């Protein structure tokens, strides 16, 4: 076990965490950055070698490497103990290769990003059905898709790069089914005329799979096959049809990773951490930046990270150009959220025997009669498995309107030795401040 002190701890080395660490370190703060992934860069940058990344990504990763921020990779934060009014925060993290880090700090920046949203429908757990993040990861790991018949279904801009990459990798993308109606997609695209670089990027992706229909107002209603996906049923407002395919990639948007923030008591609104102008949360000493505060893309994550980093370093005011950039990108994010809101039909695709919690193999019928996610967990084990509700939690919210249950430590699966260290750290914090709690 190693115990250190830092002026600022950043959890998450994605675009937001990197920008936050750079800003705080450049303002002469001792910064420790923790990320459970083996590489820095978060969901979007970490899978690629720095040389193949775009200019912006390279600039930020270079800037981070030139600072003296201490970046600890392969380290999962499992507990955060908040004590005292002055922002006395203890972060407990488990090293994947063994050992526990305990870091005391007056300022914590939560930059834990977002995860994929999965919509349950009959057959969604069949081999051959994957989220777009899974498909991207397989591609980056060199999986072969040449000649495979692929259906891409979901919503929003994130399905476009997947369609482009799979086409580029030799897959036969049969259809890209965008659930949002034509008018919503058209209006969103027109609203991007004030952000021509984003529009251009979308057009480049679309050109890469130009021979494939981009069917708006269309969604997958079920996947079929015995041991392996063999085909999908697709519908729009007028008709329904079937398509044979080897791979189905779904992407129904992202969900902010708010568990850590909720655990320490930060206020959330609409599923994201609520922050003020300085990216400060409702808990003194704790800031949040990036997609944990709402889904808005890389540019917004970086802007928020920069503001949070500067705020923890005691900046008296927010850089006005950064505040303007953040505001403009938040407007785009809100438009995107409205345009690609999930349609009602997706909430009723799951049948009685459709698995909702795939870790514990719990079907819809086993939980439909409960009042909330807590009951479903206690009596039917929905959300009790390895992913701890990260996949089925948002699905339960979509299907039944249930809010997520209480978050408890450990925040990630942890070794027993880590738990005992966390307990000791908690006891030490309470001894120093009798009002402390975690």
Contact residues for ligand FAD (CB under 6 A)?
11-17, 34-37, 42-44, 76-77, 111-116, 133, 136, 158, 161, 254, 257, 260, 290-291, 297-298, 301, 411-412
User: 260 or 399: whose CB is closer to ligand FAD?
Assistant: 260
User: 221 or 293: whose CB is closer to ligand FAD?
Assistant: 293
User: 18 or 232: whose CB is closer to ligand FAD?
Assistant: 18
User: 376 or 391: whose CB is closer to ligand FAD?
Assistant: 391
User: 101 or 246: whose CB is closer to ligand FAD?
Assistant: 101
What's the min distance (Å) between Cβ of 327 and ligand FAD? 17
Report the alpha-carbon distance of residue 147 to residue 23 in Å, rounded.
46
User: 18 or 367: whose CB is closer to ligand FAD?
Assistant: 18
Secondary structure (H, E, C), the chain: CEEEECCEEEECCCHHHHHHHHHHHHCCCCEEEEECCCCCCHHHHCCCCHHHCCHHHHHHHHHHHHCCCEEEECEEEEEEEEECCCCEEEEEEEECCCCEEEEEECEEEECCCEEECCCCCCCCCCCCEEEHHHHHHHHHCCCCCCCCEEEEEECCCCHHHHHHHHHHCCCEEEEEEECCCHHHHHHHHHHHHHCHHHHHHHHHHHHHCCCCCEEECEEEEEEECCCCCCEEEEEECCCEEEEECCEEEEECCEEECCHHHHHCCCCEECCEECCCCCCECCCCCEEECHHHHCCCCHHHHHHHHHHHHHHHCCCCCCCHHHHHHHHHHHHHHHHHHHHCCCCHHHHHCCCCCCEEECCCCEEHHHCCCCCCHHHHHHHHCCCCCCCCCCCHHHHHHHHHCCCCCCCCCCCCCCCHHHHHHHHHHHHHHHHHCCCCEC
What's the min distance (Å) between Cβ of 24 and ligand FAD? 15
Whether the CB-CB separation of 127 and 138 falls below 8 Å is answered with no
Q: Please, is 146 exposed, middle or buried when counting C-beta atoms within 10 Å of its C-beta (0-12, 13-18, 19+)?
A: exposed
What is the crossing angle of helices 373-380 and 392-400, to 10°?
120
Report the alpha-carbon distance of residue 311 to residue 294 in Å, rounded.
19
What's the min distance (Å) between Cβ of 42 and ligand FAD? 2
What's the min distance (Å) between Cβ of 409 and ligand FAD? 11
User: 44 or 339: whose CB is closer to ligand FAD?
Assistant: 44
What's the min distance (Å) between Cβ of 227 and ligand FAD? 26
What's the min distance (Å) between Cβ of 87 and ligand FAD? 20
User: 11 or 152: whose CB is closer to ligand FAD?
Assistant: 11
What's the min distance (Å) between Cβ of 410 and ligand FAD? 9
What's the min distance (Å) between Cβ of 266 and ligand FAD? 14
Compute CA 208 distance to the chain's CA centroid, rounded to the nearest angstrom: 26
Phi-psi region of 101 (alpha: psi -120 to 50; beta: other; left: phi over 0): beta
What's the min distance (Å) between Cβ of 275 and ligand FAD? 13
Whether the CB-CB separation of 64 and 40 falls below 8 Å is answered with yes
What's the min distance (Å) between Cβ of 202 and ligand FAD? 11
What's the min distance (Å) between Cβ of 115 and ligand FAD? 5
User: 325 or 364: whose CB is closer to ligand FAD?
Assistant: 325
User: 157 or 383: whose CB is closer to ligand FAD?
Assistant: 157
User: 188 or 370: whose CB is closer to ligand FAD?
Assistant: 188
């Amino acid at each position: 076990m190693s115990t250190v002190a830092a002026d600022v701890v950043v959890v998450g080395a994605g675009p937001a965490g990197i920008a936050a660490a750079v800003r705080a370190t450049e303002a002469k703060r001792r910064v420790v950055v923790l990320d459970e992934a083996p590489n820095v860069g978060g969901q979007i940058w970490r899978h690629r070698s720095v040389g193949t990344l775009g200019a912006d990504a390279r600039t930020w990763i270079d800037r981070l490497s030139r600072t003296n921020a201490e970046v600890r990779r392969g380290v999962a934060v499992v507990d955060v103990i908040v004590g005292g009014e002055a922002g006395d925060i203890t972060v407990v993290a488990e090293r994947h290769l063994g050992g526990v880090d305990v870091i005391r700090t007056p300022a914590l920046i939560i930059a834990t990003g977002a995860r994929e949203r999965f919509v349950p429908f009959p057959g969604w757990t069949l081999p051959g059905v994957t989220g777009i993040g899974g498909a991207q990861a397989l591609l980056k790991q060199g999986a072969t898709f040449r000649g495979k018949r692929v259906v891409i279904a979901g919503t929003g801009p994130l399905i476009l790069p997947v369609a482009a990459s799979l086409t580029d990798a030799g897959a036969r993308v049969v259809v890209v089914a965008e659930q949002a109606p034509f008018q919503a997609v058209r209006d969103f695209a027109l609203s991007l005329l004030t952000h021509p670089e984003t529009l251009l990027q979308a057009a480049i992706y679309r050109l890469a799979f130009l021979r494939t229909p981009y069917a708006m107002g269309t969604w997958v209603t079920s996947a079929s096959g015995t041991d392996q996906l063999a085909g999908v049923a697709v519908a729009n407002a007028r008709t329904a049809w079937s398509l044979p395919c080897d791979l189905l990639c779904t992407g129904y948007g992202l969900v902010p990773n708010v568990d850590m923030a909720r655990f320490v008591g930060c206020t959330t609104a609409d599923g994201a951490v609520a922050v003020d102008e300085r990216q400060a949360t409702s808990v003194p000493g704790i800031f949040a930046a990036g997609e944990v505060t709402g889904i808005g893309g890389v540019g917004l994550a970086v802007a928020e990270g920069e503001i949070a980093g500067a705020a923890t370093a005691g900046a008296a005011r927010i850089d006005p150009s950064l505040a303007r950039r953040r505001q403009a990108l938040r407007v785009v994010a809100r438009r995107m959220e409205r345009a690609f809101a999930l349609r009602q039909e997706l909430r009723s695709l799951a049948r009685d025997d459709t698995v909702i919690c795939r870790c514990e193999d719990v079907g819809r019928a086993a939980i439909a009669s409960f009042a909330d996610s807590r009951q479903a967990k206690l009596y039917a084990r929905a959300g009790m498995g390895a992913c701890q509700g990260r996949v089925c939690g948002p699905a339960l919210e979509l299907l039944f309107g249930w809010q997520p249950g209480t978050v408890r430590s450990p925040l990630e699966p942890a070794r027993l030795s880590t738990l005992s260290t966390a307990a000791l750290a908690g006891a030490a914090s309470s001894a120093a401040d009798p009002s402390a709690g975690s």
